[in-house]
Structure 1
Amino acid sequence: MPVSLEPDGDIPELNSRHNGVFLTECTFTEEYVKEQMQKLKPGKSPGLDGINPHVLNRCAEEMAKPLYIIYRKSLEEGKLPDDWKSARVVPVYKKGSKKAPEDITGMLDEGGGVDIIYLDYSKAFDSVPHQRLLSKLRAYGVDSKVLKWIHEFLIGRKQKVAVGKLGSEKIPHDSEEKDLGVLITEDGKASKQCAAATNKAMAKLRIIKRSFKYFNKESFSLLYKTYIRPHLEYCVQAWCPNYRKDIDMIEKVQRRATKLIPSLRSKEYTQRLKELKLYSLEWRRLRGDLIETFKILNGQEGIQEQTMFTRDENHLRGHSDKLFKPALKKGLNLNCRSKFFSIRVVNHWNSLPGNVVMAKYVHEFKNNIGSTNLDMGS
């Protein structure tokens, strides 16, 4: 998408406003380049080149000189690589609550559908008349190499809207899309995300297996919890598997990983977990659901409670913080909707003992869950 829109008609010449002062040269040093690189914030996203600012920041000492030479040559010749003229625009949510799913979930409850549409409007971006800008710069005394470089910088520029790894030139209507690293499919099922997470975890497992010849319990625990399990639990509240084949596929990663320890290889899976002080991934997902529910109900997630849950005011037995589980209409969306986080966790939460639910702090709640026999079939 071009960035400059020039109105029809000749561009008027502006009266000189430089008062005899001209800017014909732009001076900077290698040290200045290094200082600017060291000011880069490591937490920022990489540009179109894919180089993380953290790398540039840490390598400023080594990279300052070659970059200085490139910048100086660009300024002297008044030329820029095409990559320097490309920009990626990432939409930023500005108004309202992104965490209010009641409208969407309500439509699903009624048997309706929800579409996600990505639009690209050129009017959403500022358009600068470049020739008029150059004319004004000339009137203010910007001339010679500097003006030539600015002219080259402005012409032929392109920008596109980025949604995930796709740009606005090629965003298709598709049956699936990746949002914040999670595959969203039009049928709302998690099977493809389960397969993607499993593949990533298995790839890491193979790398670790090739890189280390021997594992003891301590080294395995560190490597597994750091490099493998996070792939199986990232944002899992949004895509928790509900089909047995998907549950078993994910669990298979941990089953295979725990066999890396020679002394445990011949033992049953449950025994391997016990000796490694691990839990099944299915149990950890339920635990994660309950911890997230505790945080929401206690105002620790920045999510309004009423957008996710409704308190059950008519409970007769159990603890006083029970949640109401809405009745779902039978239809195409029933199975999918019943597995949504805000629905699937209700029975588990309501069945918790009162001393667990009434914990004051998250760490206390976690400790109490660890000593509770959670019913996986609720």
Structure 2
Amino acid sequence: MKNKTSTDWNDIDMKTLKCVIEGIVKPLTHICNLSFPKGFFPNRMKVARVIPIYKTGDKHHFTNHRPVSILSRFFKILEKLFVKRFDNFVDQYELLTESQYGFRNHRSTVQALIDLIEEITECIDKKKHAIGLFLDLKKAFDTVNHDILLRKMEKYGFRGIVLDWIKSYLSNRQQFVQINQHNNKFVLFADDPNVFCSGVELQQVLDVVTQEIKTF
């Protein structure tokens, strides 16, 4: 994992974590080893700090900022371990088509273009028509419905405790926004497809949101 200096909500960065890893490797390994067989992703690792990064245009318009979500460094470690197991399972049972290039080891968009050119060239040589359909989803990851995703994963063989772990990984996510080193006073609970607001100390939701709107 890269030595990024950006800090999570615990003010821990990956570079610092690597410096002290020998002192925490045993308890961290214990947590990871408990997580998988129990089918549970620790909720404390799901808190994200969201920082708006200015893109172009009017700086005072929120649509001209790109939200960057900084997750717990421990979250990234546990996630990395799962991805390794996930990839092994997918490769072992050949669940993905050879035509998929994104998010796969040893594949790239360059290879996708090479294969596309070969397909078109072959069609031209055989005096056939080549038709291409190119689609682009705006905010693609935000459009993923978790219920549909989980049903598909179950169909592909992810069941039992593994599926429970994935459900836990996707649910009870929390995030807060940081602007100019100031954090908002309420946390967003983003469970697909709804977003809920809750005070840090469990105050009345509407009171907290109303006050934040007045002072933000």
Shared fold, TM over 0.5: no
Higher share of residues assigned strand: 2
Greater relative CO (CA pairs within 8 A, separation 6+): 2
TM-score, normalising length from structure 1?
Answer: 0.27
TM-score, normalising length from structure 2?
Answer: 0.45
